[in-house]
A and B are shown apart, each in its own frame.
Chain A
């Protein structure tokens, strides 16, 4: 008797994996041939992608629709500024502290927000984010409500900047952008890889089960409460890292900007929803569409936001699972396959 086996890979995903390796190589080498504005655009795309992947993990897999992710961006960013300005640390390792700070505040946030369900949870997270913004605005040594900048001395001597200046023969300001870009690329790759890995473990199965039916999931031994904590804390940490990195590159911070619900949650939701919620591919497609729209409509002021909103509504009506959902439904293609297919054993005889 032949034995059973489980497969997840498909021919399309094997081809995608090869393409992906090529794409990563191009992205790593990008600063060697692309101009500074391209690097800055790519930095924006990659950091938004990281935020979108973590929001997708929360809402698309964990069923936790948070509209308070700006709390973790802002807290991470302020932790980085505090570490550099008050602690005298280098900005690059301070990014890790940004993640840790966001992780720490996500514990009390989860403690309060998990008492709420559905829409109440969403509003609750927003309110908690506002509370953090108001607290930070009282922090006088970091500029209070008006904000502050990273000291020139700190940004000039940042780790790796000298090496990049020599390696690529660029000015130190351009070298800082390249450094930020490479860090964003690394963060995006680790994020996507980490989420893909999580979804392929039995915890990923548990997340899918909780998403489909929480009561039934508990009845087959899934610890739904622990999974929600795991997802929320992981997202908090990752969002904090992205927040620290974004504001290291901006080098200028204020509470209103760092805790902006529009920039760090509304845009992120747009990206995930139009791209395709509950898939890894969705946010990748979504961030590219978002960037294209932003570039096209940059000169049209408030028409820009109205177009984004209108487009989101249209896509939700014609393709509730987003553009990637539509594509994978029509073609059956999954670039990051997680479906476990049982083969071999008596299944082979059945198919004859």
Chain B
């Protein structure tokens, strides 16, 4: 089954086209990586999928249902979870309360109903020992983990990760990859934007290249990395 389908989606800010006629499918259970140079429109593409931005034209279907006109809040309820590129925690709430907000509202359940599920997500993302710490006091790695944990707390079917490994040390990166792989193994469909290529290719089954808002390639990671277009545009090699 197709989890997510974009059909000819475009978005402009004034004269600048940031998403240009993008079309692609993500089958259920797959992990898709998105790469592209800075300013290629990767985060914008995410904002269009989550509903934080509205597309100018084209359609977005989630599990066969057209969600192009559906709000970010409703899309979360139907099963689209996300992390932000720059962590956006609820700073005055504790880590556990951050997850409680996401779980009670994202799943529309009561606090007692989601308590154990939140604790479970904290455990899986390695954040349990920080459960009662205000989010404003966390380190960068912990903030990134909280982004992941909070998105997981909404019990998403499709998880969007925006440069979650950026800015981490190699050791931190490896442990985060292990967590993401674990989430993926449990059947969650993932779309992951990342500049840290080895992190990305160690998890995803398919790679999409974006440049100037256009999808210029999609396929197996080996083929994409070897392709002429990627080497020219992304790696800056003049072939």
Contacts and interface: CB of A to CB of B under 8 A. Distances in A.
A201 B137 CA distance: 25
A220 B52 CA distance: 11
Given A202-B105, A212-B90, A340-B94, A221 B131 contact: no
Contacts of B148: none
**Overall SS of chain B's interface:** helix
Interface stretch (A73-81, A203-211, A260-268, A304-312): A203-211
Nearest to A211: B92
B94 A339 contact: yes
7 contacts: A219-B82, A220-B150, A221-B77, A221-B106, A340-B94, A340-B111, A341-B94
Interface string B129-157: 10110000000000000000011011000
Interface stretch (B13-21, B23-31, B32-40, B96-104): B96-104
A340 B90 contact: no
Interface stretch (A11-19, A33-41, A106-114, A343-351): A343-351
B231 interface: no
Contact of A202 (B89, B100, B153): B100
Contacts of A223: 73, 105
B72 A6 contact: no
Interface in A194-241: 202, 205-206, 208-209, 211-213, 215-224
A5 B106 CA distance: 21
A60 B160 CA distance: 32
Interface of B: 50, 52, 71-73, 76-77, 81-82, 84, 88-94, 96-98, 100-102, 104-108, 110-111, 115-116, 118-119, 122-123, 128-129, 131-132, 150-151, 153-154
Interface of A: 3-6, 202, 205-206, 208-209, 211-213, 215-224, 339-342, 345-347, 350
Nearest to B98: A209
A215 B88 contact: yes
A220 B129 contact: no
Nearest to A351: B129
Contacts of B73: 218-219, 221-224
Contacts, number: 112
B105 A220 contact: yes
A350 B128 contact: yes
B92 A219 contact: no
Given A205-B93, A206-B105, A220 B76 contact: yes
B72 A202 contact: no
Contacts of B123: 346
A221 B132 contact: no
Given A4-B119, A205-B101, A346-B128, A212 B93 contact: yes
A224 B73 CA distance: 8
Contacts of A212: 89-93
A339 B106 contact: no
A205 B89 contact: no
For B50, B77, B98, B108, the residue with the greatest tally of chain A CB atoms inside 10 Å of its CB is B98
Nearest to B136: A212
A245 B73 CA distance: 40
